[in-house]
Structure 1
Amino acid sequence: MNMFIDGRWVSAQSGATFDVLDPATGETIDCVPDAGSADVDAAIRSAETTFQSWKATPVAERARLQKAAARLMRENANELGRLLTRELGRPLAGAITEIQRSAELLDVYAEEGLRLHAEMPLTGVAGEKIIITREPVGVVIAITPFNYPVTLLCFKLGAALMAGCTVVAKPAEDTPLSTLRLAELFQTAGYPTGCFNVVTGRGPDVGMQMIEHPTPRKIAFTGGTRAGKAIAAAAAGTMKRVTLELGGQCPAIVCADADIGAAAAAIARHAFANSGQFCYRVNRVYVERPAYAAFLDALADKVSQLDIGNGLTSNCALGPLVNEKIYRNSERQIADARARGARVLSGGTRLMGGLYDNGWFLPPTIIADADPASLVMTEETFGPVLGVAAFDDRKEALRLANATVYGLAAFVFSRNLATGLTLAERLEAGSVWVNDIQRSNQRAPFGGMKQSGIGREKGRYGVEDYLEYKTIYLTYDAELR
């Protein structure tokens, strides 16, 4: 499959390509271009040319096209979901849900775009008006990770297009195929040539060429904190705006008065979804000591019901990890926990034999009695490994939960609403769930505090992040003649 630039499928000008592998079998699915600077420049020039007309396109027309793209995504959800499962390994049902949820977000962005408005303060000064309006930022570079490649692109793409920006996307090298197919659907929906370009490449060089290019005015990135810092530093060279949704090391606090069964079910579901490969999953759990043993028993019971397999050929709960690097990080954290005296209650060892031999399959792993200084309690895992520790004092639990450079999400379980809300207010995180863990709402802002990022995505907050304020001072002759 080729890149999508200026409405055409093109190979890299160098002719270089790289393979996309099925993480469940190790087989090559397809190969895509390994872009260079000339390809980056071509994509950005296309986006800049189209921006001049797209920013003048009526908002109602932008909304119509976006809803048409969302409709096509729903109509092709099964096919696009299968492609996503092949390149990512996630079970098919979850992949199809990602497509459907992404289409839903596009619709939300379309509706929010129609609500955008300018302001005119009532100064009371004859012959003077102040108009406060907003204009699209310009060409946007969208760089996305492998774990939710369609959703995390739509976080950026839908908001940018509704604001009147054009987009050049760079998907992760593990999962470029679903993004390329999405570009095809947007073309079918009727978007003008150059609105949505896709450049594929390996390693950080291509992304950095896009960031340092003088034309784009905004960088939207989801990924690791280290990469996000490098992007922010590079973007500062030309004063580009940034939206950075970065790493997380998300804590859950389970109080003794919580519904332990409900807490265990919610945490098991959320910690091990997508084999733990997402940023706002529960990474570590602090349980009040009187409920500690009961919680571990309930959690182990829920986790024992999660089977693991090939997402295309079985109705499993978990698929493989996307590649060896991601697997090795989980393996390292498990070894560190064991060395510090923790107990591994479930999982902990790579699955081998039969269908498991050619993929990076790690069963859901519970680490009990985790040392607060251990890697699983301090570093992002991005795998199916969950650390659990007991606490005696709720102030200490809060201190431990906040003792991190991250601040993306947090979770609280307590039947006492005052306790739950007080903890939620004091947790340093962009989103806090109390007594259950639902999907993040499409209309609510999503993003992190501290080193978990800059800016917010989703809802009207996402669209507004792609607009610049402009103030117009108007003076006129107010005399009647």
Structure 2
Amino acid sequence: NGGQTCVCPNRVFVQAKVHDAFVDKLAARVGALRVGPASDEGSQIGPMINARAVDKIERHVRDAVSRGARVVVGGKRLRDARCDGPNYYAPTVLVNADSTMECSCEETFGPVVPVTRFESEAEVIAAANETPFGLAAYFYSTDVKRIWRVADALESGIVGINEGALAAEAAPFGGVKESGYGREGSVHGLEDYMHIKYVCQGQLD
């Protein structure tokens, strides 16, 4: 879906020791993505929904670069024989992203991965929570103690651990902070459609 859903990651934090190797592998995979129309079975990334969406993506990338980010792959509109339309944007990887950039505080809704290097667990949790939004967060770990510690510390309504596909009809879906209140899906989602009646009866003797 080209980054055009509400639970697509907008910020990617990578630990310093693996940062360079991770970026190299990510850029190779992203650069190999086949962009084109949905009518072509070989397409992996289609056009954005409209011209305003492409304008926003372009603005976010331009702003990030002006503030010190570097484009590793992509970073441009596509218009050629295969991408024969105005709303195609190349899948993009940015490095040196930080919290001053528009892509860190607005949803891009496009195929852009801004990568930020971090050192410690405390540092990355603070950075992840430094946002007025809190719908979905994701992280990878095989340390059970860290999994529970980080999942609890993240200010997010949904947390994916070693998993990116987290939506299911049996699971509560919703966020915290400016990402809203309440849940849809699961038994918890039914509560918004119900009225609780409290009945207090006395004088029973």
Tell me the TM-score normalized by structure 1: 0.41
Cα separation, 2, equivalents of 1:283 and 1:343: 16
Higher helix share: 1
Larger radius of gyration: 1
Q: 1:471 to 1:290 in 2, by over 3 A?
A: same
Q: Does 1:433 align with 2:160?
A: yes
1:85-124 CA deviation, whole Å, 9 max, x = no partner?
xxxxxxxxxxxxxxxxxxxxxxxxxxxxxxxxxxxxxxxx
Contact kept, 8 Å, 2:137 with 2:156, in 1: the verdict is: yes
Cα separation, 1, equivalents of 2:37 and 2:177: 37
1:163-217 CA deviation, whole Å, 9 max, x = no partner?
xxxxxxxxxxxxxxxxxxxxxxxxxxxxxxxxxxxxxxxxxxxxxxxxxxxxxxx
Cα separation, 1, equivalents of 2:200 and 2:125: 49
Among residues 55, 61, 73, which one is paired with 1:334 in the alignment? 61
Contact kept, 8 Å, 2:160 with 2:166, in 1: the verdict is: no
Q: Secondary structure at the match of 1:283?
A: coil
* Aligned residue in 2 for 1:454: 181
* Aligned residue in 2 for 1:368: 95
The Cα of 1:459 is off from its aligned counterpart by 1.2
Cα separation, 2, equivalents of 1:465 and 1:408: 18
Range that drifts further, 286-295 or 307-316: 307-316
The size of the alignment, in residue pairs, is 204
Q: Percent identity over the alignment?
A: 38
Q: Does 1:305 align with 2:23?
A: no
Cα separation, 2, equivalents of 1:460 and 1:363: 40
Among residues 165, 185, 191, which one is paired with 1:464 in the alignment? 191
Cα separation, 2, equivalents of 1:346 and 1:276: 16
Cα separation, 1, equivalents of 2:152 and 2:201: 44
* Aligned residue in 2 for 1:359: 86
Q: Secondary structure at the match of 2:87?
A: coil
Higher strand share: 1
* Equivalent residues in 2 for 1:44-123, closer than 5 Å: none
Code of the residue aligned with 2:23 in structure 1: it is: L
* Equivalent residues in 2 for 1:61-460, closer than 5 Å: 274-460=1-187
The Cα of 1:301 is off from its aligned counterpart by 2.3
The Cα of 1:421 is off from its aligned counterpart by 2.0
Contact kept, 8 Å, 1:366 with 1:386, in 2: the verdict is: yes
The Cα of 1:474 is off from its aligned counterpart by 7.5
Cα separation, 1, equivalents of 2:180 and 2:98: 27
Contact kept, 8 Å, 1:408 with 1:452, in 2: the verdict is: yes
1:322-360 CA deviation, whole Å, 9 max, x = no partner?
111111111000001111121111111000122434230
Code of the residue aligned with 1:405 in structure 2: it is: P
Code of the residue aligned with 1:290 in structure 2: it is: K
Q: Secondary structure at the match of 1:333?
A: helix
Code of the residue aligned with 2:139 in structure 1: it is: V
The Cα of 1:452 is off from its aligned counterpart by 0.4
Contact kept, 8 Å, 1:376 with 1:386, in 2: the verdict is: no
Q: 1:425 to 1:473 in 2, by over 3 A?
A: closer
Q: 1:324 to 1:391 in 2, by over 3 A?
A: same
The Cα of 1:437 is off from its aligned counterpart by 1.6
The Cα of 1:403 is off from its aligned counterpart by 0.4
The Cα of 1:374 is off from its aligned counterpart by 0.9
* Equivalent residues in 2 for 1:21-32, closer than 5 Å: none
Q: Which runs of 5+ in 1 are unaligned?
A: 1-273
Query: Following superposition, which runs of at least 4 residues in structure 1 exceed 4 angstroms of deviation?
Result: 472-475
Code of the residue aligned with 1:425 in structure 2: it is: D
Cα separation, 2, equivalents of 1:323 and 1:414: 37
Q: Which runs of 5+ in 2 are unaligned?
A: none
Code of the residue aligned with 1:292 in structure 2: it is: H
Two-structure CA RMSD over aligned residues (Å) = 1.9
Contact kept, 8 Å, 2:35 with 2:44, in 1: the verdict is: yes
The Cα of 1:433 is off from its aligned counterpart by 1.1
Cα separation, 2, equivalents of 1:372 and 1:386: 14
Cα separation, 2, equivalents of 1:322 and 1:305: 22
